[in-house]
Amino acid sequence: MTADTLTPPSRTVVAVAQFAPGMDKAANLDALRSLAVEAAAQGAKVVVAPEYSMYTAPRTDERLIDTAEDLDGTFGSGLAAIAADLGIFLVAGMNERLRNVSRISNTLVAMSPGGELVAIYRKVHLYDAFGYLESAVIEPGEIDEPQTFSCEGLTFGLQTCYDLRFPEVTRRIVDAGADVLLLPAQWVPGPLKEDHWTTLIRARAIENTMYIAAADQSARGGAGASMIVDPMGVVLCSLGEQVGVASARVSSSRIDEVRQKNPALALRRFTVIER
């Protein structure tokens, strides 16, 4: 019997929380709390909510700037309180105030069961596509070393929405040691957009042999279809169009199994270089 056989696999339950944030920040926080309670009741230790959970306007304009907050403001403190009350890690998107008053950051925060901020991700690729111009009010995030956090022996990384279309982002995160990617989004509906969403999530999971938990906004702001995908690209759970929670168990043993069958990360001959 080897040392490896004596070590139990790491595993935990992850949940995606899908809802439609609006322009009432207090109502958004209440809705998120209700979904987090439901997720915790399903056994989830990590809960991921959509991009712009704090505040979503019908258009990407100055209202995002006017309503921006510091990370330890009312919304961030509310997320920390929910995480502490439920004993979970909670990830959600907010519009973060910057010193440059004409711009904000599209920021993800991860709060720990102790109510502490343990990881931050500022969206790198802005949604200047499909007729939108996110860069009109958003400052792109710096290309820093990916921040991760650990829960029950697994490592979690963060990225946001449109970043999904750039495989280098996810590759840097798996290279930082992430087993599970948490992906909040406001994936705007449109022709073939839900097909792109599903295809790209599964592709990022397959090529990086990692789990992806993607939490989208529900209608009207998002296409829905929040899901959790395993390292072989299998959709473990999905929400369709409705508001709600879906959860799945993720495990290191499944990652190991897939990477033995498909050692793509070990066999690759290229790395990622900043442009």
* Per-residue model confidence as pLDDT tens digits over 23-38: 999 999 999 999 999 9
Q: Which domains does the chain have, with CATH numbers?
A: 11-267 (3.60.110.10)
Q: Return the pLDDT at 5.
A: 54
Q: Return the pLDDT at 149.
A: 98
Counting other chains too, the contacts that 21-26 makes at CB distance below 8 Å and 24 or more residues apart are 21/50, 21/52, 21/53, 21/54, 21/55, 21/56, 21/217, 21/221, 22/56, 23/55, 23/56, 23/57, 23/63, 23/67, 25/54, 25/55, 25/67, 25/74, 25/75
For 26, the enclosing helix (H) or strand (E) is: helix 25-41
Quick one: pLDDT band at residue 6, thresholds 50, 70, 90? low
Query: What is the sign of the dihedral through the CA atoms of 16, 17, 21 and 24?
Result: negative
User: Residue 119: pLDDT above 60?
Assistant: yes
pLDDT digits (tens, 9 = 90+) for 126-164: 999 999 999 999 999 999 999 999 999 999 999 999 999
* Catalytic machinery residues: 51, 123, 161
And the tokens for 204? 């990022």
pLDDT digits (tens, 9 = 90+) for 154-183: 999 999 999 999 999 999 999 999 999 999
pTM higher than 0.85: yes
